[in-house]
Amino acid sequence: MTYIKVSEVSKWFKRRGHMTEALRDIHLELAQGTFVSLIGPSGCGKSTLLRIVGGLADVDRGEVTIGGLSPLEAQSRKQFGFVPQSPALFPWRTVLENMNLPFEVNVRGNSAAKLVEREDPVELLKSVGLGDFVNAYAKELSGGMQQRVGIARAFGSGAPILLMDEPFSALDEITREKISYQLLDIWESHQKTVLFVTHSLREAVLLSDKVVVMSARPGRVAAVIDIGLPRPRRAQIEDTDEFHQYVAEIRGYLRDEWKSS
């Protein structure tokens, strides 16, 4: 059953007097609890699409619904957690205090997640390998560790949909590989709906149920590939022929895009 429905969405930006077409006729139907990656050349509108789904930008044509709600309605019901490129942690707070941020009551008296049953933040931190850093200050952590706090926090926030915009792009390759397995583990035990922007073919195949390949600007959907690899997935899956075939298939679509742009 469709949960997130993006129907014929187009988006333009006006810049220095002329219009840029960022997205053209995007159509996607995503089921609840699936992990979906968006992959495509820089500037093809991946971040814009994520922002539209999350109610942070509007469309010029078409419609987005989330379980029948508009993105703004879904946003007001705290349906979204965002994981940006660098996590928004308070450096002088401890890791645990940063984990608690979504649950703090803000000035309007709304806590971002007050309606949900809380998950133990320490358990969440353990699941991303940070059990020993619960009381460390965020500023003492490496970039990879900070990003893991951001991920653990998003999974514990109660939001059923996580929008992740290149969350690993600032990390070195080895850290990035490790963190992708931690994301795989935490996702497999939570099964939230995730929209994940990445430039990494291996991350897309390792993590996803569906990979959406986007074309160069104006962003269109070039291909949607269902990744049929069994779950739970473990590191060894990367050595299988099936894994390599998926990577090659996606690379093929991306190459077609380079040729035509």
Ligand X SMILES: Nc1ncnc2c1ncn2[C@@H]1O[C@H](COP(=O)(O)OP(=O)(O)O)[C@@H](O)[C@H]1O
Where on the chain is the footprint of ligand X (CB under 6 A)? 13, 15, 20, 22, 42-48, 217
What does 48 bind: ligand X, Mg ion, none (CB cut-off 5 to 8 Å by kind)? ligand X
DSSP for 186-253?
HHHHH--EEEEE-S-HHHHHHH-SEEEEEPSSSB-EEEEEE----SS--GGGGGSHHHHHHHHHHHHH
Helix%, strand%, coil% for the chain, nearest 5: 40, 25, 35
- Tokens encoding 139: 């500023």
44 binds, among ligand X, Mg ion, none (CB under 5 to 8 A by kind): ligand X
Rounded CA separation 197/133 (Å):
28
Least separation in angstroms between residue 165's CB and Mg ion is 6
Query: Residue 217 CB, nearest distance to ligand X (Å)?
Result: 5
Per DSSP bridges, beta strands 193-197 and 35-39 are: parallel
Q: How far is the CB of 43 from ligand X (least distance, A)?
A: 4
The sign of the dihedral angle between the CA atoms of 171, 174, 175, 177 is: positive
**What x/- string results for residues 37 through 76 when contact with Mg ion is judged by CB under 5 A?**
----------x-----------------------------
Q: Report the nearest approach of Mg ion to the CB of residue 47 (Å).
A: 3
Q: Select 13 or 103, whichever has its Cβ closest to ligand X.
A: 13
Nearer to Mg ion, 47 or 127 (CB): 47
List contacts with Mg ion (CB under 5 A).
47
